[in-house]
């Protein structure tokens, strides 16, 4: 494990997430437990963002069900390396379905941010993009600086998937910006925004 | 004694018809011998998407996402898979997602693999503790109305529900004796 290197990664998670969501249009967004959900809230609370406060390891699987139900909409996952590792076998189930509208971004700071910044396996030799490629993702990448991020951003938002990009972001403690925490409310407002007020 | 599985059981076809009546669009599963016929129906039907999983908890999250997107789903597993779902069931409970689990029981009635018994014996209790409404069914004659009742409470509640298809109903797996 290397617990020093991520402190110097140039990309900052809040700026990455703000860029991902800047022109979101009708994109559907599922964010993973912890810092990824706070990052999305910092970029602006939105009814078509479903921020998970729990269910660790379930973000990718949840987005898969959503992507299959809404094949005409772009579905973007924004999650962390801890959640992605816990639900890593769900990546294999994604490739069986092969949804072209699903794009997964892992904000990889090599830390469990919510529990005290302990290192995850990606602080060692574990490579999330390589794991995704190994279970059958055709499009994967690891993004390490602003130039690489700017180059790949249009593909993350629009190119045919499924795809997974691990974005190496600085390990840093940031101020909490919290989305609503009532899960039933989050679900109902998402469905109302997507399917109409009667869906609720 | 030969395998006690009855020849060509029709209850899986009844379940499939009910799921279609409820407009279930995604059928997620980790295989079990007791669900073989129902899985085959899901895989071959054009109007249903079959979603094979590597572990059952994926299915709890998958079907929550399906519901966010306006589709109903059902989750097929054997009782050992219930143990894999426990933390993920908090998603269904906290957000009040509809959930219909169809669980084929092991470790319960004439089980010849002792490793199946611990999870099979606590399956219903564990589901209840996790806030799931349970619907055990022991007889072929009761399958249809039980699945119907559970589906109603799942989708019209919404509620998290599990139909427990007894090993007595399915037939205990034989290990060659």
Return the structure tokens found at B128. Answer: 């209840």
What pLDDT, on a 0 to 100 scale, did the predictor assign at position B78? 97
Measured CA to CA, the distance from residue B160 to residue B157 in angstroms comes to: 9
Q: Reply yes or no on whether the pLDDT at A170 is more than 60.
A: yes
Measured between beta carbons, which residues in chain A are less than 8 angstroms from residue B66?
65-66, 68-69
pLDDT at A181: 96
Residue of A61, A23, A57 whose CA lies nearest to A43: A23
* pLDDT confidence band for A20 (50 / 70 / 90): very high
Q: What single string gives the DSSP state of each residue in A31-51?
A: E-TTHHHHHHHHT---TTEEE
Q: Which residues contact B146 (CB under 8 A, 6 or more apart)?
A: B135, B137, B163
Higher pLDDT among residues B7 and A116, named by residue: A116
- Res B5 pLDDT > 60: no
Q: Average pLDDT, whole number, for chain A?
A: 97
- The CATH number of the structural domain formed by A5-195 is 3.40.50.970
Neighbours of B155 (CB within 10 A): 18
Closest Cα partner for B60 from B24, B104, B105, B92? B92
Residue A198: the pLDDT is: 86
- Nearest alpha-carbon partner for A63 in A54, B54, A52: A52
> For residue range A125-152, what is the model confidence (pLDDT) as tens digits?
999 999 999 999 999 999 999 999 999 9
- Of all residues in chain A, the percent with pLDDT exceeding 90 is 98
The CA distance from B67 to B44, in Å, is 23
Ordered domains of chain B (ranges, CATH): 11-71+81-134+156-170 (3.40.50.970)
Candidates B25, B27, B68, B91: best to mutate against A (most CBs of A within 10 A) is B68
pLDDT one-digit tens code per residue, B7-20: 668 999 999 999 99
| Closest residue, chain A, to B25 (C-alpha) | A69
Confidence (pLDDT) at B6: 52
Residue B173: what pLDDT?
67
Contact B65 A90 (CB under 8 A): no
Give the distance from residue A44's alpha carbon to the nearest chain B alpha carbon, in angstroms. Answer: 20
Show me where the domains of chain A are located.
5-195
How far apart are alpha carbons B9 and A21 in whole angstroms? 51
Give B41-96 pLDDT, tens digit per residue. Answer: 999 999 999 999 999 999 999 999 999 999 999 999 999 999 999 999 999 999 99
Q: In Å, how far is B3's CA from the nearest CA of chain A?
A: 32
pLDDT at B131 over 90: yes
Q: For residue A186, give Cα distances in angstroms to A53, A97, B87.
A: 11, 26, 19
Tell me, what's the pLDDT at B127?
A: 98
Residue A98 has pLDDT above 70, yes or no: yes
Task: Please name the helix (run of DSSP H) or strand (run of DSSP E) that holds residue A86, with its range, or none.
Answer: helix A81-86
Average pLDDT of A24-53? 97
Q: Is A74:A105 a contact under the CB 8 Å cutoff?
A: no
């Amino acid at each position: 494990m290397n617990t020093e290197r991520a402190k110097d990664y140039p990309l900052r998670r809040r700026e990455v997430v703000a860029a991902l969501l800047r022109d979101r249009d009708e994109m559907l967004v599922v964010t993973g437990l912890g810092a990824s959900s706070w990052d999305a809230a910092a970029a602006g609370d939105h009814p078509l963002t479903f921020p998970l406060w729990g269910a660790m390891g379930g973000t990718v699987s949840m987005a898969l069900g959503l992507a299959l139900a809404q094949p005409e909409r772009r579905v973007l996952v924004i999650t962390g390396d801890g959640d992605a590792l816990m639900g890593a076998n769900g990546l294999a189930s994604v490739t069986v379905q092969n949804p072209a509208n699903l794009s997964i971004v892992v904000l990889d700071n090599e830390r469990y941010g919510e529990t005290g910044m302990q290192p995850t396996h990606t602080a060692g030799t574990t490579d999330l993009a390589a794991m995704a490629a190994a279970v059958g993702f055709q499009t994967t990448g690891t993004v390490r600086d602003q130039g690489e991020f700017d180059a790949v951003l249009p593909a993350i938002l629009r190119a045919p998937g499924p795809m997974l990009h691990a974005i190496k972001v600085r390990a840093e403690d940031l101020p909490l910006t919290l989305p609503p925490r009532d899960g039933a409310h989050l679900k109902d407002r998402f469905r109302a925004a997507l399917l109409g007020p009667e869906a609720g | 004694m030969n395998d006690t599985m009855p020849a060509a059981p029709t209850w899986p076809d009844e379940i499939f018809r009910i799921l279609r009546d409820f407009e279930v669009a995604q059928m997620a599963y980790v295989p079990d011998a007791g669900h073989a016929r129902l899985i085959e129906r899901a895989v071959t039907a054009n109007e249903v998407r079959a979603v094979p999983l590597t572990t059952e908890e994926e299915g709890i999250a998958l079907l929550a996402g399906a519901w966010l997107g306006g589709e109903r789903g059902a989750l097929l597993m054997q009782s050992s898979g219930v143990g894999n779902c426990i933390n993920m069931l908090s998603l269904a409970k906290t957000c009040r997602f509809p959930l219909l689990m169809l669980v084929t029981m092991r470790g319960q009635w004439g089980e010849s693999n002792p490793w199946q018994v611990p999870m099979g014996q606590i399956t219903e209790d564990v589901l209840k503790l996790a806030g799931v409404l349970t619907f055990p069914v022991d007889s072929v004659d009761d399958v249809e109305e039980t699945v119907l009742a559970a589906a109603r409470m799942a989708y019209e509640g919404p509620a998290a529900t599990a139909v427990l298809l007894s090993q007595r109903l399915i037939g205990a797996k034989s290990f060659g004796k």
